[in-house]
Each structure stands twice: as C-alpha cells, then as structure tokens.
Amino acid sequence: MKFNTKTIHGGQKHDPAYGAVMPPIYQTSTYAQTTPGGHKGFEYSRTHNPTRKALEDSFASIENGTFGLAFGSGLAAIDAVIKLLKPGDEVISTNDLYGGTYRLFTKIFEDFGIKFHFIGMENADKVAQYITKNTRLIWVETPTNPMMNIVDIKAIAEVSKKNNLLLAVDNTFATPYLQRPLDLGADIVMHSATKYLGGHSDVVMGALVVKDEKIAERLYFIQNASGAICGPQDSFLVLRGIKTLHIRMQRHCENGRAIATYLKNHPKIEKVYWPGFEDHPNHQIAKEQMDDYGGMISFVTKGSDFESAIKIVENLKIFTLAESLGGVESLAGHPASMTHASIPKEEREKTGVVDALIRLSVGIEDIDDLIEDLEQAIG
C-alpha cells in the first residue's frame, strides 16, 4: 500500500458490529466480562480502547512501523521514551529543539539522574565523541524547531547501531509524508500529533511508532503504568485528520515554498531559515531524506530586535499569533517569548533563537492572501 492510501486505510478495519466505515468513538472506561478475564480483548480504557487502537494502527502504518502508541500529548510521548532509561544513563540530544522537550529533559529527568548532552548534530562524527559507557539514547529533532536545521538520520543511525544505542526521532515537523525515520534506521519515531497529524488545531496528542517488539512491549507497559493516554474522542479526531494528511501536506509544501521565496527576495529581510534553499547549510541532506521541505519557516528582519519582531507578529491579520503549528490555518510565533521561553537566553541564542526571530507555520489558505498579509505586516 502506498502512502496516500495508507493515510486513509492503513491499519483500519470496518467496525465489526455494524460495518461503520469510521471507527465509533468508544466512549467507555470499561468493558463487560462474562467471567473474570472473559472479555473481547478490552478490559479497561487506560490499557486499551478500540478507537485509540484504530488510531495507533494508523500511526504504525503511515510511519512504516509495526506498533503505534497514542498519548495525551507530544510531551507525554517523549516522557514515555525517557522512562525506558534508568538513573545514570546518558542521552545525546540535538541542541536546537522544542523548548518543552528541553524543559522536560533538564527540569524533570535530570533530577532523576539522567544526563543529557545537547549538541549540534550536523556531523555524525561529533555525536560519536559524546558516547560514553552510560549512553543509551540519541534524541534527534529534524527539521529542528525553530531553526530548521537538518540532521542526517541515516548517518546518526549508523553511529547508534554501532554502539548499541536507541535512536529516537521527533518527526513532528516533517511528518511521514516527507520523511520516514524508521526506514532510515531509527528505532522510535515520535510526534506531537497536535500538529500536522491532527492538522486542525483542535486536539493535543502524542504518538510513538516502533518496529521492534521488545521496545514496543516496554513502551506499552509504560503507557499503561504511567497512564498518560488520550481519550477516544481525541483519537477519532486525529484519525480523521490523518485521512487528509497527504493533501494538506502537499499544499503546506507549496505555500511554504512560495512564502520562503517571497521572504528571501524581500529587501527588509535579513535571513530566512527553510531547508529547501540550495544555500541552506544542510540542504543536501534534506534533499536526500525528505520528499519536500514543508511549511515551517523562520526569519529575521534587518536591524530588528525583540520589540520590532513583536510588532510584526501583532500586525498580522490572517496569520494568527499563537503557539503551535501544523494546522490548516497559518500561525506566526515569536520563539524567544513563546515556544522557547523556557530555554535560558544564552542557551537559545547559541543556536540562533535570537529575540528578532519569527516562526511561521504556513497553512493551506490562498497563497495570495498570505503574502499580502506578510507584506502589510513587514511594511
């Protein structure tokens, strides 16, 4: 089955009761048993729920994995991955990553004795330099949020395999429409399904997909034991969202390309971060591991600072000033005061997240309206 077909049919069965084409929202916490243990595969909805199961099977299918797991948020999914580790274990992570992931690693898991090394991963050899006898996991975000750096998943997977480590990739920005980390050698794919997979800015959810049965077993155990699951209604909404992922992504990519090009040619713009440009430092890797370049773009206007960047995002009328990304509507954000405010200023500026940086999640509206909006806001 090819990707566009998988988004609609992958892992899906018509409901056995009445043949419903969409899985019903099984809004139940528990399931009748004929005798203790005599049930139809579902006992309690923290452990399993048929609507969530349909979604988890869809996750596995679109990421070319075997096992999918849905969580109450992207961070809950990341939390489950780090719970595969023990005190004393070490993680090597990209240094330019979503602020909430950085906060979870440094403000929660460091207190439990897990050590994190945050490094630039543009060169896989550099990753190897940080491996110690305690390293267990490499955490990659690519494209990175918000600097749009690209990490070579295949090269990092080679280092990871050689050293018997786990490699997890946050595939939120690219989605499996553009990039399939398991095919490139990763062990775990993670999503904030809140973003492109859900696609309509109406759900908060996380996803994990793996191929290996042992890793899956442990993650299912953690999912049930820690309990950070999502409900059936949200599962239904994300499953519905995935059915149009391919056509939404196609338009996100088209609009993203048009806006990146418009900004690059704008006399008031200093720098545009978008991996589709040939002069992007990791363009070659992006070209090899992604099928297109997506709708996430960051930029800095000439001579701008904190206040002038705020003014631009406040002036936008069709782009909504908001946290999050990946919905059908265009959003603009100011990472320094919003998504990345939890990263200390010195740390975020080292990776380019300066006060003047603006991040766009380009939606699927009419491109002329989006460009006109940017034109009036930038001035």
Ligand X SMILES: Cc1ncc(COP(=O)(O)O)c(C=O)c1O
Alpha helices in 183-244 (DSSP H): 213-226, 232-242
Instruction: Report, in Å, the least distance between residue 194 CB and ligand X.
Output: 4
Number of residues that bind ligand X (CB under 6 A): 15
Q: Which of residues 237-276 bind ligand X (CB under 6 A)?
A: none
Region binding ligand X by CB under 6 A among candidate stretches 55-63, 168-176, 307-315, 344-352: 168-176
Q: Which residue has the tokens 């099928």?
A: 291
Q: Which tokens in the block code for residue 327?
A: 């919905």
Asked if the bond preceding 24 is cis, omega within 30° of 0, the reply is no
194 binds ligand X (CB under 6 A): yes
In the chain, count H helices and then E strands.
Answer: 14, 12
In angstroms, the CA 90 to CA 117 distance is 8
Report, in Å, the least distance between residue 101 CB and ligand X: 6
Asked if 171 is part of the footprint of ligand X (rule: CB under 6 A), the reply reads: no
Distance CA 285, CA 278 (A): 11
CA 294 to chain centre: 13
Place of tokens 């490499």: 138
To the query of whether residue 111 is one of the catalytic residues in this protein, the response is no
Residue of this chain nearest to ligand X (CB atom): 74
Closest CB 274 distance from ligand X, rounded Å: 16
Q: Which of 54, 75, 114, 313 binds ligand X (CB under 6 A)?
A: 75
Using rule CB under 6 A, residue 207 touches ligand X: no
Interface with ligand X (CB under 6 A), residue from 56, 141, 187, 373: 141
Q: Is 103 a catalytic residue?
A: no
Tell me, yes or no, if 133 is annotated catalytic: no
Chain positions 90 to 109 lying near ligand X, rule: CB under 6 A, are 98, 100-101
| Active site annotation includes 240 | no
Torsion sign, CA atoms 265, 266, 270, 274: negative
Check 53, 195, 211, 348 and give the catalytic one: 195
User: Residue holding tokens 């900004």?
Assistant: 263
- What is the end-to-end Cα distance of the chain in Å, rounded? 48
Shortest Cβ 139–ligand X spacing (Å): 11
Length, in residues, of the chain: 379
Catalytic residue numbers?
A: 46, 98, 170, 195
Q: Which residues bind ligand X (CB under 6 A)?
A: 73-75, 98, 100-101, 141, 145, 170, 172-173, 192, 194, 204, 206
